[in-house]
Amino acid sequence: MTGGSRVPALPPVGIGTAPFGRLYTPVSARTVAATLEAARAAGIGYLDTAPGYGDGLSEERIGRHLAASGTRPVISTKVGTVVDALPPLDLGDPDAVTMEPGRVHRGWSVADVRRSVADSLARLRVDAVDVALLHDPETHEDEAATTAYEALRQLRVEGVIGAIGVGCNHVDVATRFVERLDLDYVLIAGRYTLLDHSALDDLLPRALDRGTRIIAAGVFNTGILASGQPGDRFHYRPAPDHIRERVGRLVELCDRHGVELGAAAAQFPSGHPAVASTVVGMRSPDEVLANVEALRRPIPATFWDELRERALLPATAPVPRVAPLMSGGLP
């Protein structure tokens, strides 16, 4: 295991900041600042970002807020996307919501990795980041696992990053990286949720064996588990019939036990011993408050038991016994 005791420990919950970079719909700079302030006030001390989130826009907005507020949360960012030209930023207009995309390229060379990290530090206005993740490396696995990984190892020696990992939504890719490399973290998006358990049998046990900690992201499967509405997205696309039917069964069971579907979805991944942190995308102060409440709300053991009985969860899936934010010392 790389890093040993030097590896930064992650808070149990973090904010996924892809919405700050125009994911689905634009968000104004003022709303981003208010969202980050609401998260700070609620005690959420971890932000996950990437250069690819709005071609640097998410990182730029986070950095501006951190500089103004004087706060320093735990930060993870990613390499694999290099921003060649920024879009027009909303520096002078806190209500701006429309920005043209910039120009980017995918790159895994030493020069690309070092430039990506240096640019991220400049946008974030920090001297180092806690975690750097190889971002969606499936099309360049060998180069990412050799050249880019070694570049990150050197940056860690230099004190520029604290931990190394992989972030993707392909279980087979993530598992191969865990087996091949000494990784501190793997961020797996949308593959350990109430609807998608594909990380359970191979990735999570292998991560436990190797001492690699899991960051569970995409816990709402891009929307449908947040709302329970069959018309919402599943893995970024309209939900297929079998997913719509399964969501209907989950909603019915939630109603019977007095549990909100969003609370169950947000809390489920934390039950697995390999999971160190759960990352939830948030785009407004109201979403921060709603998600914090969901992550604090007690869920009865009988609910999880019935999920298993009705084959809505695998019998081998560990379930949370305490809400992730119940013991975190949050206000």
Catalytic residue annotation = 53
Strand-pairing partners, residue 281, are: 16
Per DSSP, 130 falls in state E
Ranges of beta strands (E only) in the chain are 13-16, 46-48, 74-79, 81-85, 103-106, 129-135, 161-168, 185-189, 213-217, 233-234, 237-238, 275-281
Alpha-helical runs (H) found in 160-283:
171-180, 203-210, 224-227, 241-257, 261-267
Measure the CA–CA gap between 245 and 240, rounded to whole angstroms: 9
Residue 259, token pair as written in the block: 């549990």
DSSP codes joined into one string, 143-165: HIIIIIHHHHHHHHHTTSEEEEE
Closest CA to 102 of 22, 41, 167: 22
Q: Which residue has the tokens 């969901």?
A: 294
Residue 31, H or E segment: helix 29-42
Q: Are strands 161-168 and 185-189 parallel, antiparallel or unpaired?
A: parallel
Strand (E) or helix (H) holding 305: helix 301-309
